[in-house]
């Protein structure tokens, strides 16, 4: 019966051993993987809160013990130093220290004789069982770590060597259970790490995107501002060009109007000049021919003006010319046109005025001039006009004819002693 149960245990133990060898090989790779990962990102190495801290030197010794060629003496001294160190060791460290001592003995086992090997194996089991008792103080998660997990493999191996297959089976089983926990934890940690690294990458990509969008926005704002500034500059340029253009236009118009005025007026008196007189006179004569209305003209010539010039100077003569032109203009009606014909001669166009009306206007002019006090200019000297009046008689007359008639009448006024008004009449000139 006992033999059968032993066969069953062996048959269970062998596949378990195979599995655990495969997994042990995998576990051997784990620290390498972790170290590589750790360089990239320390996310996996953040110790969970339920894990006890382990002296790195102790961990280093454990890895050294796994290698085939070890410096046993050196490791023994290091382990003794750790045992005697002032800093109290926690349960996990004590656990690993016992495992390390067991591994040290295991390592020495290869060179020993069979009887000593058996004795050594018992010592290893004692050390490992002592370590196993500390398991209660260590979290399940930490116990599933490869460094601590190897206790079960080692123990199972030594139980098997001593023929304690049921115990070896149980150790292998608990190794597998914990190893699965370790794998599961590692998978979860890896998933979490991948998720976090993906999130970090995602966030970095988002940040880069936002940064480039911000840069783009800043560039666009700068472009819009530049555009606005350019628009304002163009607007100001257009406005100032417009203002300058309008000012130049106004200036040109003023110059043009002045030139027109100069060509149409007399410089000294500001009255219409000879050209304007002829222009208007011919127009009035044409209108008369189309629709006969009364039209008369006056030709006014200052009497003895040469004397005034000679006696008082040309400047005084000019003053007299300006004064008399103002006085005559005041006597004119709004529709009449007074012009300076030349020298001391003036011509007044009197539309809607027959010879009587024209004569009355001429008399009024003479009266006004004679009443005016020129003493401030020409001491006691009299200023008078000889005025010839001519009226449109028929459609055959031209403006020149009318002017000529007025001239004849004016000469007659001169002949009759000056300061008088003579109306032109065909064949004879009437006073």
Summarize as ranges the residues that interact with ligand GTP (CB under 6 A): 268, 301-307, 309, 314, 317-318, 321, 343-344, 414, 418
Rounded Cα gap, residues 34 and 237, in angstroms:
72
Q: How far is the CB of 402 from ligand GTP (least distance, A)?
A: 21
Q: How far is the CB of 417 from ligand GTP (least distance, A)?
A: 11
CA atoms within 13 A on the CB side of 309: 10
Rounded Cα gap, residues 292 and 305, in angstroms:
37
Q: How far is the CB of 268 from ligand GTP (least distance, A)?
A: 6
Helix (H, G, I), strand (E, B) or coil at 393: coil
Looking at beta carbons only, is 302 or 350 nearer to ligand GTP?
A: 302
Helix (H, G, I), strand (E, B) or coil at 353: coil
Q: How far is the CB of 418 from ligand GTP (least distance, A)?
A: 6
Looking at beta carbons only, is 93 or 345 nearer to ligand GTP?
A: 345
Q: What share of the chain is helix, strand, coil (3-state, %, to 5)?
A: 70, 10, 20
Looking at beta carbons only, is 6 or 309 nearer to ligand GTP?
A: 309
Burial of 80 (0-12, 13-18, 19+ CB in 10 A): exposed
Looking at beta carbons only, is 157 or 344 nearer to ligand GTP?
A: 344
Query: HEC string of 63-131?
Result: HHHHCCCCCHHHHHHHHHHHHHCCCCCCHHHHHHHHHHHHHHHHHHHCCCCHHHHHHHHHHHHHHHHHH
Looking at beta carbons only, is 278 or 411 nearer to ligand GTP?
A: 411
Looking at beta carbons only, is 139 or 309 nearer to ligand GTP?
A: 309
Looking at beta carbons only, is 45 or 372 nearer to ligand GTP?
A: 372
Q: How far is the CB of 279 from ligand GTP (least distance, A)?
A: 22
Q: How far is the CB of 324 from ligand GTP (least distance, A)?
A: 12
Q: How far is the CB of 250 from ligand GTP (least distance, A)?
A: 33
Burial of 51 (0-12, 13-18, 19+ CB in 10 A): middle
The residue at minimum Cβ distance from ligand GTP is 317
Helix (H, G, I), strand (E, B) or coil at 46: coil
């Amino acid at each position: 019966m006992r033999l059968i149960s032993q066969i069953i245990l062996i048959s269970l133990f062998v596949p378990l051993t195979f599995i655990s060898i495969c997994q042990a090989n995998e576990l051997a790779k784990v620290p390498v993987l972790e170290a590589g990962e750790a360089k990239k990102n320390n996310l996996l190495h953040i110790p969970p809160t339920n894990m006890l801290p382990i002296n790195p030197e102790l961990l280093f010794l454990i890895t050294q013990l796994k290698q085939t060629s070890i410096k046993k003496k050196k490791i023994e001294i290091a382990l003794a130093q750790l045992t005697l160190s002032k800093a109290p060791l926690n349960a996990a460290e004590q656990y690993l220290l016992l495992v390390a001592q067991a591994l040290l003995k295991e390592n020495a086992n290869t060179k020993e004789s069979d009887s000593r090997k058996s004795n050594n194996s018992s010592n290893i089991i004692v050390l490992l069982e002592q370590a196993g008792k500390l398991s209660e103080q260590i979290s399940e998660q930490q116990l599933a770590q490869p460094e601590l997990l190897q206790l079960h493999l080692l123990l199972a191996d030594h139980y098997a060597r001593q023929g304690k297959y049921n115990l070896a089976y149980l150790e292998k089983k608990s190794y597998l259970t914990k190893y699965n926990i370790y794998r599961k934890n590692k998978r979860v940690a890896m998933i979490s790490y991948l998720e976090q690294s993906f999130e970090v990458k995602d966030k970095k990509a988002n940040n880069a995107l936002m940064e480039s969008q911000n840069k783009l926005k800043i560039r666009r704002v700068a472009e819009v501002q530049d555009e606005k500034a350019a628009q304002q500059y163009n607007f100001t340029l257009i406005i100032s060009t417009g203002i300058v253009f309008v000012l130049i236009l106004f200036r040109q118009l003023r110059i043009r109007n002045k030139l027109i005025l100069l060509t149409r007026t007399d410089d000294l008196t500001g009255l219409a000049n000879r050209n304007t007189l002829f222009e208007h006179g011919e127009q009035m004569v044409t209108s008369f021919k189309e629709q006969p209305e009364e039209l008369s003209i006056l030709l006014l010539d200052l009497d003895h003006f040469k004397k005034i010039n000679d006696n008082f100077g040309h400047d005084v003569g000019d003053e007299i010319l300006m004064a008399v032109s103002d006085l005559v203009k005041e006597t004119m009606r709004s529709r009449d046109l007074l012009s300076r014909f030349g020298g001391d001669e003036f011509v007044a166009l009197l539309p809607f005025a027959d010879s009587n009306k024209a004569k009355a206007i001429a008399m009024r002019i003479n009266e006004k001039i004679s009443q005016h006090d020129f003493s401030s200019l020409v001491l006691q000297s009299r200023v008078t006009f000889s005025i010839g009046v001519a009226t449109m008689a028929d459609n055959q007359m031209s403006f020149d004819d009318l002017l000529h008639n007025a001239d004849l009448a004016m000469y007659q006024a001169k002949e009759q002693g000056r300061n008088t008004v003579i109306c032109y009449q065909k064949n004879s000139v009437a006073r």
